[in-house]
Amino acid sequence: MRPAPPLPALILAALLPSAALAQDWGQEPPVVMMCQIVDESGTGWVPEFIMMTRQTAGPRQGRIEVFDPILQRIVGQPIEARITADDAASRSYGWALAGVRNAAGQRTDRLEFRLVVQKADGSARVTVTALGYDNVMTGSGVCGSPGGG
């Protein structure tokens, strides 16, 4: 029995048919960015892999979606993300989950995620904050586009 492929490979494989289909219909495939992150908090709430897609054509043009292992477990599909800041040095993205409970049973009404990507080198920083709690969970890593595009 072969081991299951890692999550990034599964997510990319799931996107490939839709990208091929988009090309068959004359549409542009989405722009994809993938990030590998180290959870410095040790809480498990900082995703170790993040994939962002931005639609480049059609009725959803400009829509940004995010998917990661946490979203896979809780929601089962990508959710919308928004650009929260954009300047010459970096771009920031944000998304949130409502009504989340951790393994210890602690609950928060809102879990907010922020990803900041440096434009010069793709270095990335993730912060996760839970409404009603003082701690901020962090991680760092690198983001890039498949094929360097």
The residues spanned by each domain of the chain are 7-144
The ranges of the chain with pLDDT < 50 are 1-7, 9-25
Per-residue pLDDT, 13: 46
pLDDT at 116: 98
Please tell me the distance from the alpha carbon of residue 72 to that of residue 68, in angstroms, as a whole number. 6
Sign of the CA dihedral running 54, 85, 35, 109: negative
